[in-house]
Amino acid sequence: MFAMLDAEYALILFDGETNSFVAARDPIGIRPLYYGYDEQGSIVFASEPKNLVGLVEKIRPFPPGHYYRDGQFICYCDITAVEKVCTDDVETVCSNIREKLMAGVRKRLVADAKVGFLLSGGLDSSLVCAIAARESAAPIRTFAIGMREDAIDLKYAKQVADFIGSEHTEVLMSREEVLASLETVIELLGTYDITTIRASMGMYLVCRYIHEHTDIRVLLTGEISDELFGYKYTDYAPSAEAFQTEAQKRIRELHMYDVLRADRCISVNSLEARVPFGDLEFVKYVMAVDPEKKMNRWGMGKYLLRHAFEQEHILPDSILWREKAAFSDAVGHSMVDDLKEYAEGCYSDEEFEEKRRKYSFAQPFTKESLLYREIFEKYYPAQAEMVVDFWMPNREWEGCDVNDPSARVLANYGASGK
């Protein structure tokens, strides 16, 4: 049954007649589910890791694409597995990408509650909003967030909103709000990962605004596109095979990073997250496309996705062909700089060296990462293995051996985010 479901879910089914149960999670892990074993050896499940603290020795994420029955985890779908490489020509591939993404957006517009859209002004969220605007009879509602001082993406989000005719809201955040929300965000996420926490600050605050000021209860977002089509650092992939292997790794681990961020930041504000780029048919197709075509061969990342909508004219060309900017940077470079500066003031160099060495797993390597880890340990003591490691560019690739996950530190960042 689970392999037949076209859905984003985590569930436990109890059979009262046999006194048995089965648990399962969707193939990408868009909906959260955690488990652990108590002192008696019984398995315990929860949708949030905080509910397992003190009940089990080790909290673990339920593996996506698996179901659990009679003491065993069984894989019913490895979404990254490619049975046959798709060798369609570029135009055919782009046509299929366009049709499948539009279908993925269309099916997620059906809701018994009001639907809104997170719009960063980047390619991915802009495409989702543009498709939705075309499919909707009334103007859609879009929301963008940025720092008061130097928001980069707000102007691009407004360009998109004006072009598609959405009812658009800009939310501004300050250094004080970011720092005041830091501990709350780390607790709700259940992670110490630098990238996830940085990118969650804006998302959490914009979702909080939506919950407090609107009657919207469903949000569509642009997550998962980077992992499928490539990110700034995948330009450095030494081969098509390496690109594909990296994409498979990122998709398998998404439930610990971007997908975790989207679900937690949205759900904690009593909203439902929907992720069109995570549509199962869409993901399976893009994963099967010959990686030679997905690599940056055209001097522009995500070429296939951009070209797929080039003739549709649903976005301004300046947005469709805009360079990638990371969300945590694009809300304003000052946000990450503020977080780093705050962390620098928390530890002397000697304290940093002493305290970071206490951790053998995923050892902090900057003062910022140490700060996040110490807050994480406050709420999830000795549970660092819930996250496989830090989300970082592949250090084995030339040009990617960096000490900060921001694309800003890569040599090819160029005009991104300006």
pLDDT digits (tens, 9 = 90+) for 254-284: 999 999 999 999 999 999 999 999 999 999 9
Examine the domain organization and report whether 61 and 200 are in the same domain. no
Task: Report the alpha-carbon angle 371-374-380, nearest 5.
Answer: 140
Assign residue 190 a region (left: φ > 0; alpha: ψ between -120 and 50; beta: otherwise): left
Residue whose C-alpha is closest to residue 371's, from 345, 405, 403, 389: 345
Q: What is the pLDDT of residue 412?
A: 75
Question: 22 and 142: one domain?
Answer: no
Are 214 and 295 in the same domain? yes
Q: What is the pLDDT of residue 330?
A: 62
Mean pLDDT of 323-352: 85
**Residues near 234 by beta carbon (within 8 Å), at least 6 away in sequence:** 243, 246, 247, 295, 296, 301
Residue 401 lies in a domain: no
pLDDT higher than 60, residue 326:
no
Same domain, 138 and 190: yes
Tokens of 127: 């495409």
Q: What single string gives the DSSP state of each residue in 155-200?
A: HHHHHHHHHHT-EEEEEEE-HHHHHHHHHHHHHHHT---HHHHHHH
User: Where does a domain end: 335, 350, 376?
Assistant: 335
Sheet of strand 167-173: strand arrangement: 167-173, 141-147, 114-118, 216-220, 272-274
Task: Provide the 3-class DSSP secondary structure of residue 227.
Answer: helix
- Among residues 294, 281, 300, the alpha carbon closest in space to that of 247 is found at 294
Give pLDDT, residue 149: 84
The pLDDT value given to residue 404: 86
Bigger pLDDT: 148 or 345? 345
Q: Are residues 214 and 314 in the same domain?
A: yes
Domain assignment present for residue 162? The answer is yes
Position 417 scores a pLDDT of: 47
Average pLDDT over residues 24-37: 97
Residue 44 belongs to some domain of the structure = yes
Look at residue 157 and tell me if it is in a domain. Answer: yes
Q: Output the domain CATH number for residue 51.
A: 3.60.20.10
Using 50, 70 and 90 to split pLDDT, how confident is the model at 58? very high
Q: The CATH number of the domain where 208 resides is what?
A: 3.40.50.620
* Domain stop point among 315, 335, 355: 335
* Residue span of the structural domain in which 200 resides: 90-335
Number of domains in the chain: 2
Q: How far apart are CA 327 and CA 322, in angstroms?
A: 14
Q: Do 60 and 121 fall into the same domain? A: no
Domain-ending residue, one of 41, 75, 109? 75
Average of per-residue pLDDT values in the chain: 94
**One domain for residues 140 and 279:** yes
Question: Could you tell me if 215 and 264 lie in one domain?
Answer: yes
- DSSP character at residue 278: G
pLDDT on residue 275? 96
Same-domain check for residues 110 and 18: no
What per-residue confidence (pLDDT) applies to 405?
Answer: 84
What single-letter amino acid sits at 144?
Answer: A
Residue with the two structure tokens 């501990």: 183
pLDDT at 329 exceeding the cut of 60:
yes
Please indicate, yes or no, whether residues 155 and 216 belong to a single structural domain of this protein.
Answer: yes
Q: Is residue 149 part of a domain?
A: yes
Give yes or no: residues 48 and 134 share one domain: no
Residues in the chain, total:
418
Question: CB neighbours of 121 closer than 8 A, spacing ≥ 6?
Answer: 144, 153, 154, 155, 156, 157, 158, 159, 160, 319, 330
pLDDT digits (tens, 9 = 90+) for 173-196: 999 999 999 999 999 999 999 999
- Same domain (yes/no): 131, 269: yes
Beta strands in 327-417 (DSSP E): none
Instruction: Over range 139-146, report the average pLDDT.
Output: 97
Report how far residue 307's alpha carbon sits from residue 305's, in angstroms, rounded to the nearest whole number: 6
The separation between the first and the last C-alpha atoms of the chain, rounded to the nearest angstrom, is: 48
What sign results for the dihedral spanned by CA atoms 222, 224, 228, 231?
positive
Residue of 143, 55, 103, 62 whose CA lies nearest to 278: 103
Q: Within a domain: residue 362?
A: no
Q: Among 131, 1, 154, which residue's Cα sits nearest to residue 74?
A: 1
138 lies in a domain? yes
Answer whether residue 321 is part of any domain. Answer: yes
